[in-house]
């Protein structure tokens, strides 16, 4: 089930726990995400279920919930205008599942951002909550694309490593939920 729901995104991301920051770091390559795959309800639900499980993977224990996460976005090559994406499916599923899931993001670090991201950030200022807006850092630079660092030695090996780490994180999370949950009153 996990592999199926993460399938649309597994080529795009890598996750690890940063010892320097003390929180999970989630790297996402926006150029590899096919927004057009979310053109019907089934594909949208599968993709957003993957996002739901990723949030659970990134918050396996109380320490990680308290510390939050850092999201690093590789923006080079991102095509921001979807050809056939129907927002109603994403909006419906976000309202049903995603919007109610607590997720603390310490910072969004956007690498190799095109000018359109700067414009969109400026346009979004009146609408985006101040605490989220202040955490968005555009224009970060790295000597190469982020996937050149995290997709080593091959993309396929990275996918397997990503799925293995995801399963480990979910196992830890579910064990913690069983051990530390409050009894129903």
The three-state DSSP-derived secondary structure of 42-102 is: HHHHHHHHHHHHHHHHHCCCHHHHHHCEEEEEECCCCCCCCCCCCHHHHHHHHHHCHHHCC
Q: Count CA atoms within 13 Å of residue 20 on its CB side.
A: 2
- List the chain domain ranges: 2-177
Q: What is the pTM of this model?
A: 0.75
Encode the chain (185 residues) as per-residue pLDDT tens digits: 444 444 444 455 565 666 566 778 888 888 777 766 667 777 777 777 777 788 788 888 888 888 888 888 888 887 766 555 566 766 766 666 656 666 788 898 999 988 888 888 888 888 888 888 899 999 998 888 888 877 778 878 888 888 888 899 899 999 998 998 777 66
pLDDT number for residue 174: 92
pLDDT number for residue 175: 94
Report the distance separating Cα 86 and Cα 84, nearest Å.
Answer: 6
pLDDT number for residue 137: 92
- The CATH number assigned to the domain with range 2-177 reads 3.40.525.10
Report the distance separating Cα 128 and Cα 111, nearest Å.
Answer: 20
pLDDT number for residue 56: 83
The count of other CB atoms within 10 Å of the CB of residue 161 is 16
pLDDT number for residue 129: 83
């Amino acid at each position: 089930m996990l592999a199926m729901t993460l399938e649309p995104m597994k080529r795009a991301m890598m996750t690890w726990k940063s010892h320097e920051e003390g929180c999970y770091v989630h790297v996402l390559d926006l150029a590899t995400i096919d927004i057009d795959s979310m053109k019907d309800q089934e594909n949208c639900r599968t993709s957003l279920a993957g996002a739901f499980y990723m949030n659970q993977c990134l918050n396996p224990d109380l320490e990680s919930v308290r510390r939050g996460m850092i999201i690093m976005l590789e923006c080079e090559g991102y095509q921001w205008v979807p050809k056939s994406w129907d927002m109603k499916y994403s909006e419906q599923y976000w309202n049903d599942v995603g919007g109610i899931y607590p997720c603390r993001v310490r910072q969004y670090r956007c690498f190799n951002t095109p000018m359109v991201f700067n414009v969109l950030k400026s346009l979004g200022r009146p609408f985006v909550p101040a605490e989220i807006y202040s955490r968005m850092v555009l224009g970060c630079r790295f000597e190469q694309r982020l996937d050149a660092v995290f997709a080593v030695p091959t993309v396929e090996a990275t996918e397997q490593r990503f799925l293995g780490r995801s399963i480990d994180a979910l196992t830890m999370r579910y064990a913690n939920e069983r051990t530390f949950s409050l009894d129903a009153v």
